[in-house]
Amino acid sequence: MVRVVRSCAQSILKLVNSIIGMAGTAMILYAIWLIRVWQREIGDFFPFEGSDYAAPWFIYTFLGLGVTLCVITCSGHIAAETANGCCLYFYMAFTFLLLMLEAAVTTDVFLNNDWEEDFPVDPSGSFNKFKNFIRSNFEFCKWIGFSVVSVQGLCILLAMILKALGPHQYYESDDDIDPARVPLLKNAVHPPYVVGSPAYGSHSNA
């Protein structure tokens, strides 16, 4: 029974974890598209010292978040496959830190009226375009964000279940052991065999 529950938890964790990987891949592709647009307009993605243009921090951040999500996805697949306690702890820690970062940014946006001043000026203009897109499609973006947060919470819950179940074991109960190899008495001690020359006793006369 434990083996079935563990296999189901592993499969569900891999499936749900793949959604985070797809989100990270989409963010990387969007960042690459922004890089191409920036290079077409400016001609240099990495501005050198003394340049008139500042670094496009929004593109850097978006690309870094996409790579981070993909790394978390890979670690989640390894943790789900091995069910190792150390891997599961690292996966839960990374996912929890990501959730805290998302919660901090969301709290700052909703509770701070001047939240735009907390971010530096983006020379590429991608931040303003992204902000206007979210404002024009707020309901859609709200459900997307809620879905991503729910998926991350579900991943943490499944990882905790796998950690409680423990890794795979060859024998989970006495029923899995071959009956032909089970001794009649548990912890039975077999007497040692002594090989020696036979002893011949003398026969008395009747």
| pLDDT tens-digit map of 171-183 | 444 444 444 444 4
Higher pLDDT pick, 189 / 68? 68
What's the number of domains the chain is made of?
1
Look at residue 197 and tell me if it is in a domain: no
Burial class from Cβ neighbours inside 10 Å (0-12, 13-18, 19+) for residue 87 reads: buried
Look at residue 173 and tell me if it is in a domain: no
Task: Name the residue range of residue 129's domain.
Answer: 1-45+55-113+124-165
pLDDT confidence of residue 186: 45
Q: Which helix (H) or strand (E) holds 82?
A: helix 57-82
Mean pLDDT lowest among 19-28, 113-122, 153-162, 196-205:
196-205
pLDDT confidence of residue 47: 54
Look at residue 204 and tell me if it is in a domain: no
Strand, coil or helix: 139: helix
Whole-model pTM: value is 0.68
With contact defined as beta carbons under 8 Å apart, do 98 and 45 qualify? no
- Displacement of CA 204 from its chain's centroid (Å): 85
Q: What are φ and ψ of residue 146, in 5° steps? A: -65, -40
Mean pLDDT lowest among 91-95, 127-131, 161-165:
127-131
Look at residue 203 and tell me if it is in a domain: no
Q: Which two tokens stand for residue 196?
A: 């020696």
